[in-house]
Amino acid sequence: MTLPILYSFRRCPYAMRARLAIFASEQQVELREVVLRDKPEHMIEISPKATVPVLYLLDGSVIEESFEIMEWALNLADPNQIDPERFRVKARVLVERCDVEFKPYLDRYKYPNKFDDMTREAAIAKAADFINDLDKMLENQQFLMGHSRGFSDIGIAPFIRQFAHVDRDWFLKQPWKNVIDWYLEFTNWDGFLRIMSKYPKWTPDSKITVFPEITQISVTAF
C-alpha cells in the first residue's frame, strides 16, 4: 500500500465533502467505490460502524468521519487556501450545524416513509431555517465565508444539492435566490464535476484507482 485508502460512495454527500477536501488539498488516495448494500469486508473490519467515507492511513490508523477527513486533508496542505485561519472556527460551526440542524430534516423530507416523527411539511420548514440562514450569509458574497470557496462551501453544498434534487423544480422556485445561485455555481463547478467521476464497484481484485487522477490536480480555479 503506497497511498491512503478512501472507501467512498459516489452519491453520498459525506463522501463528496471528503473527496472535495482531498481534491482541494491536492492529496492523493486510493479510491475504493463502495456499494452500500454490499460493503467490503476490509472496510467493516477497520470501521465496524460501516459508514462511508472511511480513510485508512498508511500507519494503520482510521478516520471514519467525513468532517475529520476534511481536516486531515487540509491540515496536510491547503494550496488553494480554502481553509484560512481567520474563518476556521466559523466554518466548522456552520458545517456542524448542517450535520445536526439540517441533515435530519433533509432525511425526513427525502425519505418520508422511513420516519414517522414529523410530517414532510414540518421537515421542510425545519430545513428551511438553515437554508434561510445560508441565504442571508450569501446576500453580499458569492461564498459562505466571503469571495472565495471555502471549507464550509464544500462541506455543506453536497447536502443542499441532495435537498434540491428531491424536487428540483420546486427548489428552484423557492425564495432562496442566493442559495439557488450558490447551488447552481457549485454543481457546475469543474471541481465538483471532477470529484463526481464514476468508478466501478471495488473488489479485492480491482486495479488501483488513484483519486484524484494526476491530470486533475492544479487545473481547477477555486
State the Cα–Cα distance between residues 141 and 147, nearest whole angstrom.
6
With a CB cutoff of 8 Å and minimum separation 6, the contacts of 70 are 17, 18, 20, 21, 151, 154, 155
70 binds ligand GSH, rule: CB under 6 A: no
Is the Cβ of residue 93 or residue 172 nearer to ligand GSH in the bound state?
Answer: 93
Per CB under 6 A, the segment of 24-32, 49-57, 149-157, 177-185 that binds ligand GSH is: 49-57
Minimum CB distance to ligand GSH, residue 68 (Å):
8
185 binds ligand GSH, rule: CB under 6 A: no
Per CB under 6 A, the segment of 47-55, 77-85, 123-131, 134-142 that binds ligand GSH is: 47-55
Per CB under 6 A, the segment of 46-54, 116-124, 184-192, 214-222 that binds ligand GSH is: 46-54
Kindly state the number of chain residues that form the binding site for ligand GSH, as judged by CB under 6 A: 10
66 binds ligand GSH, rule: CB under 6 A: yes
Per CB under 6 A, the segment of 20-28, 50-58, 105-113, 131-139 that binds ligand GSH is: 50-58
State the Cα–Cα distance between residues 129 and 218, nearest whole angstrom.
36
101 binds ligand GSH, rule: CB under 6 A: no
Site string for ligand GSH, 11-40 (x = CB under 6 A): -x-x---------------------x----
DSSP 20: H
Question: Quick count: other Cβ atoms within 10 Å of Cβ 108?
Answer: 21
Phi-psi region of 50 (alpha: psi -120 to 50; beta: other; left: phi over 0): left
Exposure letters 54-75 (e unless 16+ CB within 10 A, then b): bbbeeeeeebbbbbebbbbbbe
157 binds ligand GSH, rule: CB under 6 A: no
62 binds ligand GSH, rule: CB under 6 A: no
Minimum CB distance to ligand GSH, residue 109 (Å):
15
Report DSSP letters for 77-92, one per residue: --TT--S-GGGHHHHH
52 binds ligand GSH, rule: CB under 6 A: yes
Minimum CB distance to ligand GSH, residue 207 (Å):
24
For the chain, what's the residue count?
Answer: 222
State the Cα–Cα distance between residues 80 and 24, nearest whole angstrom.
6
Map residue 6 onto helix, strand or coil.
strand
Binding residues vs ligand GSH (CB under 6 A): 9, 12, 14, 36, 51-53, 65-67
